[in-house]
């Protein structure tokens, strides 16, 4: 049995603009961190546009108030469950004020799910798709493995085609 060939196709993550890719939060004097709820609220407040009221933001925990500290968060569109990762990174700490910049990314399972849906829609048989994280930066690349039903593996190269707020477009082809 031959392995399935992966055509050059395009994928798309969440379609909402992120109004700002940075934030500033006062942490108060009790904790050297932006607590999880405040971080989620601040990130959610930076999302605008049609459908923004259908987005939920969840973070894995608080953002430590230390330059270079990061936290992974997810913006999930409740309409279809699509998700885009948001990774805030602390850029400055002055007293109780913490500034951060954020970048978007698509986690590996979400990239794999998008590719899998497209392959199924084209009736291309396969066993599974396994992917790593895809940075939300134009021309960024990533890798996936398309696993045929017989276990044969085909490497895929993922390329980000455009980024607009939380929208990350990408295409993929056999590597």
Please state, for a pLDDT cut of 70, what percent of the chain lies above it. Answer: 82
pLDDT digits (tens, 9 = 90+) for 87-103: 999 999 988 888 999 99
**Does the pTM exceed 0.75?**
yes
Contact 138, 162 (CB under 8 A): yes
What distances in angstroms separate CA 37 from CA 18, 32, 44, one per listed residue?
19, 15, 10
Q: Give φ, ψ of 53 to 5 degrees.
A: -75, -5
pLDDT for res 25:
58
Q: Which spans in 50-144 are helix H?
A: 108-121
Name 61's Cβ contacts closer than 8 Å, sequence gap at least 6: 36, 71
Q: Return the higher-pLDDT residue of 75 and 18.
A: 75
Is the pLDDT score of 145 beyond 50?
Answer: yes
């Amino acid at each position: 049995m031959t392995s399935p060939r992966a055509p050059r196709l395009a994928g798309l993550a969440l379609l909402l603009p992120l109004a700002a890719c940075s934030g500033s939060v006062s942490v108060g004097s009790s904790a050297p961190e932006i607590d999880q709820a405040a971080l989620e609220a601040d990130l959610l407040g930076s999302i605008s546009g049609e459908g923004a009221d259908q987005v939920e933001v969840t973070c894995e925990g608080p953002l430590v108030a230390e330059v270079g500290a990061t936290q992974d968060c997810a913006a999930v569109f409740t309409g279809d469950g699509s998700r885009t990762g948001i990774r805030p990174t602390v850029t400055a700490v002055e007293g109780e004020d913490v500034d951060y910049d954020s970048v978007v990314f698509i986690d590996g399972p979400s990239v794999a799910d998008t590719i899998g849906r497209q392959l199924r829609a084209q009736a291309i048989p396969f066993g599974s798709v396994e992917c790593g994280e895809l940075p939300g930066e134009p021309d960024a690349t990533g890798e996936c493995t398309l696993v045929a039903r017989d276990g044969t593996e085909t490497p895929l190269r993922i390329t980000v085609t455009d980024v607009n707020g939380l929208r990350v477009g990408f295409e993929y082809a056999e590597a």
